[in-house]
Structure 1
Amino acid sequence: MINLHLVDRAKSVLIQNLSLKPTESLLIVTDDEKVDIAELFYQAGSLISNNIALMRMPTRNKSGEEPTDLVHLLMKQAHAVLCITEHSLTHTQARKDASALGARVATMPGITLDMLEHGAIAADYHEVQTLTKHYCQLLENGSTVTIKKDDTELTFSIKDRPSISSTGVFTEKGQSGNIPSGESYIAPIENSANGQILIDGSISNIGVLSEPVLLTIESGRLVDASGNQGQDLLSLLGDGDGRTIAEFGIGTNKKARLTGNVLEDEKVYGTVHIAFGSNKSFGGITEAGVHIDCVIKDPHVWIDCQKI
Structure 2
Amino acid sequence: MDIARTALEGAKVIITYCLGVEKEEKSLIVYDEPNQEKARIIKKAFELLGYPSPTLSPYNRLQTIEHDVVIFCVSERLTLALGHSDLKHEVCSRGGRVGFVTQPLENTPSVQEIERIAKRTKFLAEKLEKAEGLTISTRGHSLRLYTKGRKPIAITSLIRNAGEWGALPDYAEVAIAPVEHESFGEFYVDCLIVGLGKPENGLLITFENGRVASLKNGEIGRALKRLISSDDDAHELAEVGFGTNHLRRTPKGEFDDKKILGSVHIALGDNHTIGGILRSKVHVDCLSINSEVWVSGKRVFF
Give the TM bin, normalised by the shorter chain.
0.7 to 0.9
Q: Shift of the alpha carbon at 1:121?
A: 10
**Aligned position for 1:104:** 97
The Cα offsets for residues 193-227 of structure 1, whole Å up to 9 and x where unpaired, read as 22222110111221233221111122222111111
Is contact 2:186-2:206 (8 Å) kept?
yes
How far apart are the structure 1 equivalents of 2:83 and 2:133?
Answer: 31
Matched, 1:126 2:127: no
Q: Shift of the alpha carbon at 1:166?
A: 1.0
The Cα offsets for residues 151-177 of structure 1, whole Å up to 9 and x where unpaired, read as 212222112222112112211234334
**Letter of the 1:202 counterpart:** L
Q: Shift of the alpha carbon at 1:99?
A: 4.3
Pair 1:174–1:278, CA change in 2 (3 A): closer
Is contact 2:10-2:108 (8 Å) kept?
no
The aligned length equals 291
Equivalent positions of 1:1-308 (< 5 A) are 3-22=4-23, 24-57=25-58, 60=60, 65-67=61-63, 72=64, 75-76=65-66, 78-86=67-75, 87-88=78-79, 89-90=82-83, 95=88, 98-99=91-92, 102-108=95-101, 111=102, 113=104, 116-118=105-107, 124-180=113-169, 181-227=171-217, 228-238=219-229, 240-256=232-248, 258-262=251-255, 264-308=256-300
Identify which range, 281-290 or 212-221, moves more after superposition.
281-290
Pair 1:153–1:101, CA change in 2 (3 A): closer
**Letter of the 1:45 counterpart:** F
How far apart are the structure 2 equivalents of 1:156 and 1:266?
Answer: 19
Q: CA RMSD in A?
A: 2.8
How far apart are the structure 2 equivalents of 1:222 and 1:94?
Answer: 28
Q: Return 5+ residue gaps in structure 2 as ranges.
A: none
Q: Shift of the alpha carbon at 1:85?
A: 2.7
**Letter of the 1:226 counterpart:** K
Is contact 1:123-1:254 (8 Å) kept?
no
The Cα offsets for residues 102-135 of structure 1, whole Å up to 9 and x where unpaired, read as 4333233xx453xx33488999221222111121
Task: Give 3-state SS (helix, strand or coil) of 2:116's partner.
Answer: helix
Q: Shift of the alpha carbon at 1:6?
A: 1.4
Pair 1:196–1:99, CA change in 2 (3 A): closer
Task: Give 3-state SS (helix, strand or coil) of 2:179's partner.
Answer: coil
Is contact 1:241-1:287 (8 Å) kept?
yes
The Cα offsets for residues 274-306 of structure 1, whole Å up to 9 and x where unpaired, read as 112222322223223322111111211111222
**Letter of the 1:9 counterpart:** G
Task: Give 3-state SS (helix, strand or coil) of 1:307's partner.
Answer: strand
TM-score (norm 2): 0.84
Is contact 2:183-2:209 (8 Å) kept?
yes
TM-score (norm 1): 0.83
Percent identity between the two aligned chains: 27
Q: Shift of the alpha carbon at 1:271?
A: 0.2
Pair 1:123–1:241, CA change in 2 (3 A): farther
Task: Give 3-state SS (helix, strand or coil) of 1:197's partner.
Answer: strand
**Letter of the 1:203 counterpart:** I
